[in-house]
Amino acid sequence: MSGARRGAGANRSPGAGGPSDAGRPAGAGVATDSGAAACPPAALAALREAIALSARARADGRHPFGALVLAADGRVLARAGNESAAGDDPTAHAETVAIRRAAADHGRRALAGGSLVSSAEPCAMCAGAAYWAGLGSVVYGLSESRLRGLTGDHPENPTLDLPCRTVFERGQRPVTVHGPLLEDEAAAVHAWFWQRTAGSGGGDP
């Protein structure tokens, strides 16, 4: 499992705890690093489902990303694949679609303390959405940095390579982050996808 290969601090923001943070009050939103061992088994199972959703999105001609939102008790509140390149909503990443769907179907309170499980690390927008939705944790497969290596300069996916931990570290409440996990499985869905001829626009995540 590739996630275990990376050290606990390997995905930490370069600036975390560094000189750039001097003088800045320590926020409550310190994200937690953890490997597969610390990730609840149910969350790993959900991550495999998110990866399956990403494969389904690809099979449907959409960008290969998938996400689920789980309630604090582990119930699945919503599932989604990426819809940003297929429709007219450029913000319809799998994560934002799943969060909006979960809130619409179950009410925003149902999301409190829940989890966002995504086949790829949430971009800055999606990490922000998770924060504002009140979710308590994020589980992801493919890291943004590895995704960027896969997408290159593809015009449909100018990957925003900012670790989600960096976003959460600036928040005022903690968000626990588990990832990257099952990264090779998540990456396999992207094989050769970004080498194709560019189609309709819309970047993600």
Q: Which residues are catalytic?
A: 95
Per-residue CA distances from 17 to 22, 28, 34 (Å): 8, 14, 17
Q: Is 137 helix (H, G, I), strand (E, B) or coil?
A: strand
What's the min distance (Å) between Cβ of 4 and Zn ion?
A: 25
For 52, residues 6+ apart whose C-beta sits below 8 A from its C-beta are: 66
Measured from the CB atom, the residue of 43 and 97 that comes closer to Zn ion is 97
Which residues of the chain form contacts with Zn ion (CB under 5 A)? 93, 123, 125-126, 205
Residue nearest to Zn ion (CB): 205
DSSP of 69-120, one letter per residue? EE-TTS-EEEEEE--TTTSS-TT--HHHHHHHHHHHHH-GGGGTT-EEEEEE
Measured from the CB atom, the residue of 36 and 50 that comes closer to Zn ion is 50
Q: What is the CA radius of gyration of the chain?
A: 16
Measured from the CB atom, the residue of 16 and 160 that comes closer to Zn ion is 160
What's the min distance (Å) between Cβ of 73 and Zn ion?
A: 26
